Structure 1
Amino acid sequence: MKWLYGYYWQAIDQEPMCFFCGEPARLLVKEAQDLPTKYHGLSQQAGIAIMCSHCQRTHYNTLSHLTLDLPQVRRFWNKHKCIHWQQGEQIEHAGIPALVSSFKSKGGQRQMDVLIEQQTFRVLAINEC
C-alpha cells in the first residue's frame, strides 16, 4: 500500500508517470460512468485515469482505493482492525466542490472522512471523529 500511495498520489499531486512503461503520462478525473464497466459495481464512484501516449495504455483507480492508500487511513485501519468504506455525498469545502470518502470502524463508533477536490482529486482535508 505504501508503493501504491507513492505512485498514485505523486500522479495526482505532481507529475503522472505511466504505471506500465514509466514514461510521463496524463491524469484525468473520471465520473463513475466514464470508468470501464468492471468498476461500475463499486458504488458508482469516481476515479482517475492515468493515460500514456507512449505505450497507449491507461491505468484506472477509484476513490475508495485511492483514499485507502493514504497513510492516515492506513493508520486508522491498523488501529481499528476492521473498517468499511462508505462513499459520502458531494459537498463544498471552503468553496471548492469535494467528494467525501469515509471509513468507519466496526460498530461505527469511529470514522475518518477524506475530502477530495472533485476536479483534481487532491486531498482537501482529513477528519477523524
Structure 2
Amino acid sequence: SQARITQYGGPGGWNDPDMLAVGFYVIPPIEQITHYAFWAALKAPLILGSKALILNKDIISVNQDPLGQSICQVYYKTYKETSFEIWTGPLIYGYVANPINITLDFQKHCYLTGEIKVRDLVNQQSKGNFTNT
C-alpha cells in the first residue's frame, strides 16, 4: 500500500507503485485517469505507452514538480462496501496536488489558508478561486 510508504519518496529516491496500467481496453477510462493522476502525484517514474493520456501537461507538471514530495493519504473512511479516501500533497510555490473531486476543508486536509486556486488537471481547466471550501 502506498499510504504506508509515501514519506520515503523524494528527490533522489522515489517509491515504485509497481505497474502503471493505462491504455488497456479492459480498464474503464475513469480508472485509467485516476490511476495516472495518482502515479504522477506519487512522483513515480513515468514509463508510458498511451499517447492521449500521457501528453497531459498539467499531470506531467505535477509529476515533475521540483519539490519532489509525494502525496499522502490524509483521510480514509469505509461505508458499507465502499471506501472514501483523500490524498493530498505539497507542490512548489505553495500549490497542492489532490487527485479527487470533493468538498474539503483546505486548512484541515491540505494545511492551506486564504484564497486557493483550484485546477482540474485531467481536463486542464481552472475551477476558480475558493476560500476554505
Asked if TM exceeds 0.5, the reply is no
Higher relative contact order (CA 8 A, sep 6+): 2
Structure with more of its chain in strand, by fraction: 1
TM-score (norm 1): 0.30
TM-score (norm 2): 0.29
